[in-house]
């Protein structure tokens, strides 16, 4: 954590309607969205932004340990894409998972408590920042091995097809994952079996400090990766939540409708037919992260000006502008939403702080669903627990 | 006892379970149209269709991970590795994902998947195809490790594995698939003299062999041999040999390395006061090392001599037949070990 970041964390940035004026406009073709939906998405993005600021602060105060990857800058990706799902459409992602979980409806209290390692966390304090799980909200985890969740996304989609449900899986990963074998194997399986999964590339241009152009072949034409597997490809502006929403809505609908008639695997979809509504889709979402890769990243690999230029396109400010310009919300209302988001983040920290410490017996739970044999009393052989057999 | 082949036992176990539970599917390379590389799944695609018997491309990371995702959703995948030697390319999925999901999610998402396939050397396949995975995987918490040695066990343990809520690694052996066939070296021959444990064969669909319960394949008073899987047969051969010399060994088939029935082992060693541990993984940090260590911790005062381990030799498996056989644990090595610990050499 550098000094500059520390200052940023504590500074009180506000979302002003004028802040980004004359910079970039949100995609107005999407304005058929209801005003309620737009405001819901704004609140959700603000919730993530304020939550992440508190997360950084708590990390500096050493309340949070381990690796911690901040989502600031990418809020529109989670909010726009998840906003286009049904609540029981499974989502699965990488370690940069706070935003996904919150956008999906996880209570920020349980998210913060997880990072504080408390029993009240969304995974009982056993997962941490990189491993958020929430069964109730169909969040199948943050997964910290780069690319490792791609086959899981295909597996969830396989199960949906197997059970003849009409859900669609959103499987998220960063641009670093594109070069992993698991990514390619999952693409191939999803394609040959026409699985209802959207592979979502949160393309923030960097895998840690390596720019995508240095690490990925054909970085400027990722469509080729989809084409290689006969898969549908789409892209959208990840700094524009309305563009993300409409693009995902379109592609999710196509996937949902495509999978159904072809329950029986082995029917290879007709890729050549123009606009064929086949199941899986590779979605390239161009986004940007303002913060370092993780809390320990001093960001020597990119210029301050680059980050600042991207901040001009801030997805929250752009939506704020849109709402004000179109008389959907007033600056006062925006301020109120922001105040609520700040209060909620603060309450989450308080909850996490005040939650009881982990009972040490928890060390030995959740290893097996059905432990039996001599392992019954915990994960270790009784010998190692100091208990005698007789 | 029914004369059923080991491979038929595996097939029957899968068929019986699949008939009653639609969530179970079998996925792997060549399992459907080709009827299984080793014909374990012969005819299954005809019965269950392509929805449930799924030919996957050669992509272990992909289909092993797909199995984990499907299991998280609530299905019951049986993932076949053509050989366990190929599981290394899927290591991330089967070590990092399958066994840790329940813990990392604080109990929310389990992984009720079975990963099965051939394990170990013995067919002159060279070192890439002869790997014995048990020492590596038995150290992973969250996994269960089943190592069946007879057709009866193979069936009962596979049914138990499929019904299990946790990820199970089920280690078969290419060298045992034909076991039990008429004229073959059959486990039933050990019943010949009547005093060895008779493995009666239940026809009941609910016949399962619970994990964590060792089987005393031959009771004896003079020395305990602890083993599992294919080496059980070597140990029984050795027992036959030693009986002629008046040494009455007890052969314990632990059946599952995880959970490990240390209680049965300990009780036996307390009775015989001598112990030999046999397993077909490499000797350094092997399963035998772990079992020996646990026995020392519990039975130090009961032991009348050191414990001897009989493992594969500490070499990659050679192609040459003579060398390969020499590398494996065998009846001669086990008998020598027993003679040596019981001061009868
Ligand atoms: C298999 C594997 N190798 C290396 C790492 C270490 N690592 C963690 S995150 C990361 C960068 C990944 O970047 P990207 O996929 O672009 O995601 P982003 O952080 O940009 O969201 C690396 C190399 C890992 N977690 N897993």
Tell me, yes or no, whether A137 lies in a domain: yes
SS3 of A110, please?
Answer: helix
Residue A339: phi and psi, rounded to 5, are -60, -45
Judged by CB atoms closer than 8 Å, whether chains meet at A122 and B106 is answered as: yes
* This prediction's pTM: 0.89
Pairing of strands A91-94, A139-143: parallel
Contact between residue A143 and residue A124 where contact means Cβ atoms under 8 Å apart: no
Per the rule left: phi > 0, alpha: psi between -120 and 50, beta: everything else, A356 is: beta
Do the first three CATH levels of B6-176 and B215-341 match, i.e. the same topology? Answer: yes
pLDDT of residue A257: 82
- Any domain includes A4: no
Measured between alpha carbons, how far is A169 from A159 in angstroms, rounded to an integer?
A: 10
Which of the 8 DSSP states describes residue B316?
P
Rounded average pLDDT per 10-residue block, chain A, 390 residues:
38 65 60 88 98 97 95 98 98 98 98 96 94 97 96 97 93 97 96 93 95 94 93 95 97 83 49 61 97 92 93 95 96 97 98 92 85 53 44
DSSP strand E in chain A: where? 91-94, 139-143, 169-174, 197-203, 206-207, 210-211, 232-237, 281-286
Interchain contact, A371 vs B259, CB within 8 Å? yes
Number of domains in chain A: 1
Residue B177 confidence (pLDDT): 87
Instruction: Please indicate if any CB of chain B lies within 8 Å of the CB of A121.
Output: yes
What is the structure's pLDDT at B202? 54
How far apart, in whole angstroms, are the C-alpha atoms of residue B172 and residue B161?
13
Residue A30's pLDDT is 53
Over residues B74-82, mean pLDDT: 97
pLDDT at res. A365: 85
Which range among A26-30, A127-131, B188-192, B214-218 shows the weakest confidence by mean pLDDT? B188-192
CA–CA distance, B64 with A307 (Å, rounded to integer): 40
Measure the CA–CA gap between B254 and B49, rounded to whole angstroms: 36
Q: What is the pLDDT of residue A388?
A: 45
Residues 6 or more apart from B86 whose CB is under 8 A from it?
B60, B117
Which residues between 114 and 173 in chain B have a beta carbon less than 8 angstroms from any beta carbon of chain A? 141-142, 144, 164-166
Domain residue limits, chain B: 6-176, 215-341
Kindly provide the ipTM of the predicted complex, given to two decimals: 0.87
Inside any domain, residue A183: yes
What is the Cα–Cα distance from A190 to A106, expressed in whole angstroms?
Answer: 28
Nearest CA distance, A108 vs chain B (angstrom): 17
For the stretch A226-268, pLDDT in tens is 999 989 999 999 999 999 999 999 999 999 887 655 445 444 4
DSSP annotation of A174: E
Would the CB atoms of A389 and B92 count as touching at under 8 Å? Answer: no
Which CATH homologous superfamily contains domain B6-176?
A: Thiamin diphosphate (ThDP)-binding fold, Pyr/PP domains (3.40.50.970)
pLDDT value at residue A225: 95
pLDDT of residue A23: 56
For residue B59, give the nearest of A134, A143, A189 by CB distance. Answer: A189
Average pLDDT, chain B: 90
Q: Give the mean pLDDT of B138-145.
A: 94
A85/chain B closest Cα distance in angstroms: 17
**Res B35 pLDDT > 90:** yes
CA of residue A148 relative to chain centroid, distance: 15
Cβ proximity of A174 and A94 under 8 Å: yes
Beta-carbon-side half-sphere exposure of residue B117 (alpha carbons within 13 Å): 28
Q: Are A282 and A221 in contact (CB under 8 A)?
A: no
Question: Which candidate, B237, B49, B31, B186, places its Cα nearest to that of B116?
Answer: B31
Query: Which residue from A151, A208, A294 has its CB within 8 A of the most atoms of ligand 1, so it is best to mutate?
Result: A208
Q: Does residue A74 have its Cβ closer than 6 Å to ligand 1?
A: no
- Is B233 a residue of the active site? no
pLDDT of residue A294: 94
Once rounded to an integer, what is the mean pLDDT over residues B127-145? 93
Structural domain includes residue A343: yes
Cα–Cα dist B180/B190, whole Å? 12
| pLDDT the model gives residue A373 | 56
pLDDT for res B175: 87
A52: nearest Cα among A94, A98, A114: A98
* Residue A266 contacts B where some CB pair is shorter than 8 Å: yes
Cβ neighbours of residue B136 closer than 8 Å, sequence gap 6 or more: B281
Residue numbers of the domain that contains A225: 30-356
Residue A362 phi, psi (nearest 5): -60, -20
> Would you call A159 and B74 a contact, using CB atoms and an 8 Å cutoff?
yes
Angle, helices A315-325 vs A35-60, to 10°: value is 150
B210 catalytically annotated: no
Identify the CATH number of the domain in which residue A297 sits. 3.40.50.970
CATH of domain B215-341: 3.40.50.920
């Amino acid at each position: 954590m550098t000094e500059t970041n520390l200052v940023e964390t504590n500074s009180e940035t506000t979302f002003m309607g004028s802040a980004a004026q004359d910079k970039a406009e949100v995609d107005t073709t999407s304005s058929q969205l209801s005003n309620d939906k737009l405001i819901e998405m704004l609140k959700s993005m603000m919730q993530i932004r304020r939550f992440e600021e508190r997360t950084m602060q708590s990390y500096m105060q050493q309340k949070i340990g381990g690796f911690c990857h901040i989502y600031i800058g990418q809020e529109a990706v989670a909010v726009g894409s998840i906003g286009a799902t049904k609540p029981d459409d499974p989502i699965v992602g990488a370690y940069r998972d706070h935003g996904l979980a919150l956008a999906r409806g996880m209570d920020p209290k349980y998210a913060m408590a997880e990072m504080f390692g408390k029993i009240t966390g969304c995974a009982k304090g056993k997962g941490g920042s990189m491993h958020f799980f929430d069964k109730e909200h169909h969040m199948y985890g943050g997964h910290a091995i780069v690319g490792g969740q791609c086959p899981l996304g295909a597996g969830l989609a396989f199960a949906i097809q197997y059970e003849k449900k009409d859900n669609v899986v959103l499987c998220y990963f960063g641009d670093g994952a594109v070069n992993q074998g698991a990514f390619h194997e999952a693409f191939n399986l999803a394609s040959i079996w026409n699985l209802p999964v959207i592979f979502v590339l949160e393309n923030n241009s960097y895998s840690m400090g390596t720019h995508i152009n240095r690490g990925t072949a054909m970085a400027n034409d990722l469509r080729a990766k989809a084409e290689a597997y006969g898969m549908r490809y789409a892209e959208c502006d990840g700094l524009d939540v309305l563009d993300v929403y409409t693009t995902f809505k379109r592609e999710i609908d196509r996937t949902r409708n495509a999978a159904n008639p072809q329950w029986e695997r082995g029917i290879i979809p007709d890729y050549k037919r123009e606009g064929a509504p086949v199941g899986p889709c590779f979605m390239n979402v161009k986004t940007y992260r303002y913060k370092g890769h993780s809390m320990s990243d001093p960001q020597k690999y990119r210029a301050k000006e680059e980050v600042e230029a991207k901040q001009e396109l801030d997805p929250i400010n752009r939506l704020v502008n849109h709402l004000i310009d179109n008389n959907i919300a007033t600056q006062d209302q925006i301020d109120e939403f922001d105040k609520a988001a700040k209060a909620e983040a603060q309450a989450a920290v308080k909850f996490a702080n005040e939650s009881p410490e982990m009972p040490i017996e928890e060390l030995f739970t959740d290893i097996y669903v059905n432990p039996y044999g001599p392992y019954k009393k915990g994960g270790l052989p009784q010998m190692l627990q100091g208990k005698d057999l007789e | 006892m029914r004369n059923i082949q080991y491979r038929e036992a595996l097939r029957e176990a899968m068929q019986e379970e699949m008939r009653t539970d639609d969530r179970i599917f079998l996925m792997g390379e060549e399992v459907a149209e080709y009827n299984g590389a080793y014909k374990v799944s012969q005819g299954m695609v005809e019965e269950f269709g392509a929805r449930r018997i799924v030919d996957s491309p050669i992509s272990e990371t992909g289909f092993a991970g797909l199995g984990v995702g499907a299991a998280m959703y609530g299905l019951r995948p049986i993932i076949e590795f053509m050989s366990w030697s190929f599981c290394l390319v899927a290591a991330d999925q089967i070590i990092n994902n399958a066994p840790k999901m329940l813990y990392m999610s604080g109990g929310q998402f389990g992984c009720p998947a079975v990963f099965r396939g051939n394990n170990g050397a013995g067919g002159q396949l060279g070192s890439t195809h002869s790997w014995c995975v048990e020492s590596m995987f038995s150290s992973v918490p969250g996994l269960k490790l089943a190592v069946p040695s007879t057709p009866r066990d193979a069936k009962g343990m596979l049914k138990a594995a499929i019904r299990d809520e946790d990820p199970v690694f089920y280690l078969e052996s290419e060298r045992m698939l034909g076991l039990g066939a008429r004229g073959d070296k059959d486990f039933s021959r050990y019943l010949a003299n009547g005093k060895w444990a008779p493995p009666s064969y239940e026809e009941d669909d609910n016949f399962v062999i619970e994990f964590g319960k060792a089987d005393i394949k031959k009771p004896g008073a003079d020395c305990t041999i602890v083993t599992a899987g294919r080496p059980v047969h070597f140990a029984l051969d050795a027992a036959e040999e030693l009986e002629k010399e008046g040494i009455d060994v007890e052969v314990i088939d632990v059946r599952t390395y995880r959970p490990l029935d240390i209680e049965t082992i300990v009780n036996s060693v307390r009775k015989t006061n001598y112990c030999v541990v046999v397993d077909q993984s490499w000797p350094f940090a092997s399963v035998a090392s772990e079992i020996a260590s646990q026995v020392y911790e519990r039975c130090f005062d009961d032991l009348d001599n050191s414990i001897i381990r009989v493992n594969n030799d500490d070499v990659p498996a050679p192609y040459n037949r003579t060398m390969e056989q020499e590398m494996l644990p065998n009846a001669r090595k086990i008998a020598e070990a027993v003679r040596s610990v019981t001061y009868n050499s």
